[in-house]
Structure 1
Amino acid sequence: MQFIPSALLLLFAATFFCIWLLERQRQHLLLFSLAFLTISVATVAQLTLWPADIGYNTIVTASLYSAGPLLLVEGVLARSGKSMPLVEHAAWFAGIVGVLASFYYVQNDLQVRVYVLNFGMGCIFLSGVWKIRHLVRGSVIDRAMLWLLSGLALTFFARTMLTGGSVPTDNIEAFFESQFWVWAQFTMSVVGVAMGLALVVVASADVILALKAERDSDPLTGLLNRRGLQMRVPRLLALVKRKPIAIVACDIDRFKGINDRFGHAAGDAVLQTFAGIIKSKLRAGDIVARTGGEEFVIVMKDAPVGDAFLLAERLRRAIVDVRFDGLPADFAVTCSFGIAELHDGEGLWDAIGRADKILYAAKRAGRNRTFAEGVQLPNAA
């Protein structure tokens, strides 16, 4: 029975390792696996008193118990695109192991070692919480990760403060009979399983969301594709009842000629750079999708047609000034825009169709210009 917590931790280590084998670009899964494995080995070493020399055992278990939280925190940070500096890893590790060694070889006090180790592990988790505190404004999964790590840190402090007084100062056999050890095994089983299951759910959700994003995204530009835009239709139609929504249809002028003269690689570079410029100019909350070869649609929330016209003009002028990879330095890429308002009760694609007609009117008028409903619309037959 005493090895159940170790076995459960080992099971989660194997689980994360198997998921990592399927998703090797997600390095945080390997770190999760190593964290659970390290803690599992530490509990076995402590239970079996291996190495048998108490001093060596203290150093070995302290090293493993310190490495586990560091690996777990590094995994959580890696998932969020962050990391803990190597010098900070080394400081935590050396500090905990060094203090525990001194409280065996210099002043032997098992109770102090218990307090130092558990508070040290809790502080490592809290340092991770501090580094990902921005996730409090993230997705549900991100916030769950933040609170999971916070709760894990608090268990080390609460458990130790409530039961640490039961630990003897130098009697190892009495330690394994203490209230602290009983509760440590219990919480390790419960909290370890809860944390393991939660991380499995997070890992699974990450994979599912990534597959969904891949399905709904254009692989060349990273923008939404037609399907991705369609998935946002219900929310847009609900929003239009309260706020104006402008639909901006955009097309790169004479794009086929670019492909024919300079090759498809140059054309792809133009599309990628063009998409990047659009994303950099949009407001937070606006939506942009690539709906065809050189065709793009921008959905501007809470924006009347006049505001959309000003944005389109800024984009049009910005594109003219850009020099694209694969094209001669004196070759200017231009684009045209057509703008319509999404009306209450109208389908999104109907509004896009109206914006397209206005766009083609702009092209017939000479290209490299912006036409919009009620703003500028000559020759719009």
Structure 2
Amino acid sequence: MASELLIYEFRPLYLTLNRIGPFQDEPYEIDFTDKENRPCNFFLLVSKNGSGKTTILDTMSCLLGLLGQAEPKQYGLEDLDKGKGRAQLDLKLRVYWQGQDHDFVVSILGGNLGNELSLKIWDAEELQKHHASKWYRMGFTGQQSGYPLKPLPTHKSEDFIGDLLISLQMSLGSSPSSFGESIFSLPTTLSFSAYRDIPQINESAQPRSITKPQYWGYSPVHCFSAHNETWNYSLDNLLVWLKWLEDGRFEKARDLVNQQVFQGSSKFFKDVDRPSLEAIVNSGGDEPKEHRLDRLSSGEKNLMQLFLRIGAHMTKNTILLIDEFDVHLHIRWQYRLFNALKSLASRDDANFTVIATTHSTEILQTFTDTMDIDENGLVKGGHLIKEEME
């Protein structure tokens, strides 16, 4: 039986990639800590196109997704599943376990690791530098087509890792407790691709109904699709479900959207039409009109996807992975989202880690100018991929 486990902090420290995407020649490390070795809770990845930003986020999602799988048959990343790729994600955990508080480093590994079973070794000196008392390893190795991957020897030890995995897997599918807050201490990762569209729903493939949304319920990782026309995936379905619950979550979602997406404009998110099961936005103005979510601008769709998914699926330990967070956004909206993400990272009631990629020169300049300025609750960092780039 698993010991009582409460997680106070769950943050990335390092990611090491080898033979994955553009990182082929030798192990490549991303350091998510600041100058004082603290794990950052607000981190920007920068590079020219094709240098590996998306690969880094996908690899992190892939490794973190192993937490919820007892016998995975694949990693979900081509270079790990079909090539010679290997990766290691090191995390700092602060936990209550076996009646005491602990600071641990946990490494999640995957791919063709060879006999060494690690890309980064944590000795006593490294652990002390990060104020951790012990190092644990878990994950899978090899490729066994059609069969479960081979777990590392340390993967299911009758120690902390065993209790962690039991807690995670026993909680799979548990219903979120509220919108915009959660009683769950277990970690979740919310991964957003660069394409955050709201397409028109294909009702011939799947009619509208009051149905549990596709991503409803706890999972160590939610990877939100770039483009999905099915009812179960849609934001309309999520909003209808929140409305049907009648416990205040819908009102919280509506208020958040109107504050973060439509503030300063005449538009506002009005309600869900019960007969048609359709979310309605009012255009405002002298002659207001009502329209569907898929008729919003690309920038409004981007923000709707982010804020509604985050509010619905966050836990007390949430990692946000956002590829090109500024895409389709006017510079004013870029700053609005930039500041909203910083507010999430600095929350007192939850541990958020925001890791995002950007091409916005204005945001990069602002971030660089304020990197060394203390901001309450923020530990800031950044990484320029392949520093030899022009």
With the length of structure 1 as denominator, give the TM-score of the two structures. Answer: 0.21
Larger radius of gyration: 1
**Structure with a larger share of its residues in strand:** 2
Higher relative contact order (Cα pairs below 8 Å, separated by 6+ residues):
2
